[in-house]
Amino acid sequence: MNVAAALKSRKTAAVALALSVLVFTPVGVSASFASEGKRAEMLFYEGIPDKTYTKPSINAQLNTYADAMLGYATVAAKYPDLAASAAAMIEARRGLFDAKTVMEKYRAYIGLALAFSDLREIIVLDGRRQSDYDAWNDYGSTGHGANMYIKKAAEEYNGAVDRLLDMADAFPIRYIGGGSARPSLAQRRFGDSDDWLEST
The answer to whether residue 113 is domain-embedded is: yes
% of the chain beyond a pLDDT of 90: 38
What pLDDT score was predicted for residue 32? 63
pLDDT at 115 over 60: yes
Say how many C-beta atoms besides its own lie within 10 A of residue 88's C-beta: 18
The answer to whether residue 44 is domain-embedded is: no
The answer to whether residue 38 is domain-embedded is: no
Nearest alpha carbon to residue 67 among 128, 117, 139 = 139
Q: In the chain, how many domains are there?
A: 1
Cβ-based neighbours of 192, under 8 Å, separated by 6 or more:
103
Q: Using 50, 70 and 90 to split pLDDT, how confident is the model at 171?
A: low
The answer to whether residue 46 is domain-embedded is: no
The answer to whether residue 153 is domain-embedded is: yes
Distance between CA atoms of residues 171 and 160, nearest Å? 18
Structural domain span for residue 72: 53-198
Tell me what the mean pLDDT of segment 94-109 comes to: 93
User: Could you report the per-residue pLDDT of 27-60, keeping only the tens digit for each?
Assistant: 444 556 566 667 778 778 888 777 788 888 999 9
pLDDT at 19 over 50: no
The answer to whether residue 41 is domain-embedded is: no
What stretches of the chain show up as alpha helix (H) in DSSP? 3-41, 58-77, 83-98, 102-126, 133-169, 178-186
Nearest alpha carbon to residue 154 among 65, 53, 84 = 65
CB-based contact 39:66 (threshold 8 Å): no
What pLDDT score was predicted for residue 29? 47
